[in-house]
Amino acid sequence: MVNNMLFEKPISEENPLDSDGLYPDPEKLLDKDSIDLSILQKLIGTSILSVDQFNKQLVLEICKFAALLESTEIAASHPLDGKIIITAFFEASTRTRLSFESAVLRLDGKIISIPLGQATGQAKGESLADIGEMFNAYGDLVVLRHTDTDSIQEMQNNLRLPLINAGNGTGEHPTQALADWFAILKWKPRLKDDEVAPQHQIHLGILGTPGSMRAVNSFLRMSLLFKSGIRKISIVSEMADPLGPELDCRLQKSGLDYLVTNDINDVVSDLDVIYMNSIAFLGDSYKTLDSRFKLNAESNLKKDSVVLHPLARLDELDPTLDETPHNLYFTQAHGAVFIRQALFISILNRFDRLPEKDIPLSN
Ligand code: CP
């Protein structure tokens, strides 16, 4: 059974059904092998804090599991029945909070939601550590977003439940990176192979500053796990040092060919995947970085290239691209629900609630 609840595929001359960029089929990511349960079981009871805790095999099994959840109707099995998820958002969010909550509700779990920190004792000066101590009694798993990079450590001082980092200041956004690569692998499943022929390798462009933008940071870290499919990485940023020493060292160690430029026109016509972002919470407010780099339907994009963006967007990503096959950003956002479902089922060990006939798991 195919689950098309999240979006319908428009049938028209302009948006053909086989348009890979706009609506890649999750079943393209599922090969004949079943999903390796023993890999997913490593997530039971764990917290998801950084991309650094993943290896390629774990990312692949999570993405394959998410592809199965996207193409299978499992709500009737009530996989999260009896579980309470606390979504604690101390920074604004459209996609991350609502997709986590949609994931829970579609699996029949329950939610306690804090959409803004000011609705908690934080408004009276309460510490995150104390709020974390309270969470222990109220739920089974916590999803935290916060403007402070140190928020994860502070909450973990007292929290004994699994914690998912939904974006910590200028730190990381690891489940966003999973959603990013889920979209890329649905678009081009051969990028998961350990050997990718040179003509199929991608030139990956990153517009933004990985050193201070958490989504771009996590995306770059995860991209290094898939280096067999990458021909080159180009970082396009107005910053003199967009990577910082740690990421620069990682890129050098990866052996990948990479360059840093401040002019998108140097590379745009050769890029196969363009990952862009512009808004970051820096210090005490939102800043717009790299806003001079704009893409629209008239940009000099390679014919089969795709654009990703964690969103929200400003004018760097023009809506004229929305109805073109370059648009992978809506697939990226929609697919996040299934990535987050895969994480909940794995962390809370609810594999036994899945319908056996539809979910080919193997030990
Ligand atoms: N991708 C993302 O983090 O979006 P939100 O800020 O809307 O959650």
| CA dist 341 → 66, 80, 104, 186, 208 (Å) | 7, 9, 7, 17, 29
> What local confidence, expressed as pLDDT, does residue 359 receive?
63
Q: What is the set of domains in the chain, with CATH numbers?
A: 4-10+21-173+333-353 (3.40.50.1370), 190-330 (3.40.50.1370)
Rounded Cα gap, residues 312 and 295, in angstroms? 15
Instruction: Name which residue sits closest to atom 6 of ligand 1, judged by CA.
Output: 93
Q: List pLDDT tens digits, range 49-68.
A: 999 999 999 999 999 999 99
| CA dist 218 → 33, 93, 126 (Å) | 28, 17, 30
> What local confidence, expressed as pLDDT, does residue 195 receive?
98
Rounded Cα gap, residues 304 and 299, in angstroms? 13
Amino acid (one-letter) located at 5: M
- Given a contact cutoff of 8 angstroms between Cβ atoms, the answer to whether 140 and 348 are in contact is yes
Our answer on whether the CB atom of 312 is closer than 6 Å to any ligand 1 atom is: yes
What is the average per-residue pLDDT within 202-218?
Answer: 94
Q: What values do phi and psi take at 302, rounded to 5?
A: -60, 145
228: nearest Cα among 259, 201, 248: 201
Instruction: Name the one residue in this structure whose structure tokens are 């990485």.
Output: 233
CA-based R_g, the chain, Å: 20
Amino acid (one-letter) located at 40: L
- Mean pLDDT, the chain, rounded, equals 90
One DSSP character per residue, 111-167 reads EEEESSGGGSGGGGT--HHHHHHHHHHH-SEEEEEES-TTHHHHHHTT--S-EEEEE
Our answer on whether the CB atom of 95 is closer than 6 Å to any ligand 1 atom is: yes
| 228, pLDDT greater than 80 | yes
Buried b (16+ CB within 10 A) or exposed e, 235-258: bbbebeebbeeebbebbeeeebeb
Q: List pLDDT tens digits, range 321-356.
A: 999 999 999 999 999 999 999 999 999 999 999 987
| CA dist 306 → 185, 227, 345 (Å) | 12, 18, 30
> What local confidence, expressed as pLDDT, does residue 10 receive?
39
Six-digit token string for 18? 């086989």
| Mutate-to-test residue for ligand 1 from 89, 91, 93, 113, highest number of ligand atoms within 8 A of CB | 93
Six-digit token string for 193? 């192979």
Per the model's pLDDT, the better-predicted residue between 280 and 139 turns out to be: 139
DSSP 341: H
Instruction: Name which residue sits closest to atom 4 of ligand 1, judged by CA.
Output: 95
pLDDT classification of 166: cutoffs 50, 70, 90: very high
Pairing of strands 258-261, 273-276: unpaired
Q: List pLDDT tens digits, range 26-53.
A: 998 987 668 999 999 999 999 999 999 9
Give the atom of ligand 1 at the shortest distance from the alpha carbon of 176. Answer: 1
Q: In what order do the strands lie in the sheet with 273-276?
A: 258-261, 230-236, 202-207, 273-276, 306-308
What is the average per-residue pLDDT within 99-118?
Answer: 97
> What local confidence, expressed as pLDDT, does residue 20 receive?
67
DSSP 292: T
Q: List pLDDT tens digits, range 232-281.
A: 999 999 888 999 999 999 999 999 999 999 988 889 999 999 999 877 66
> What local confidence, expressed as pLDDT, does residue 293 receive?
81
DSSP 34: P
What's the pTM? 0.92
Instruction: Name the one residue in this structure whose structure tokens are 């987050």.
Output: 340
Give the atom of ligand 1 at the shortest distance from the alpha carbon of 94. Answer: 7
Instruction: Name which residue sits closest to atom 3 of ligand 1, judged by CA.
Output: 96
What is the average per-residue pLDDT within 175-182?
Answer: 98
> What local confidence, expressed as pLDDT, does residue 8 receive?
35
- Given a contact cutoff of 8 angstroms between Cβ atoms, the answer to whether 361 and 69 are in contact is no
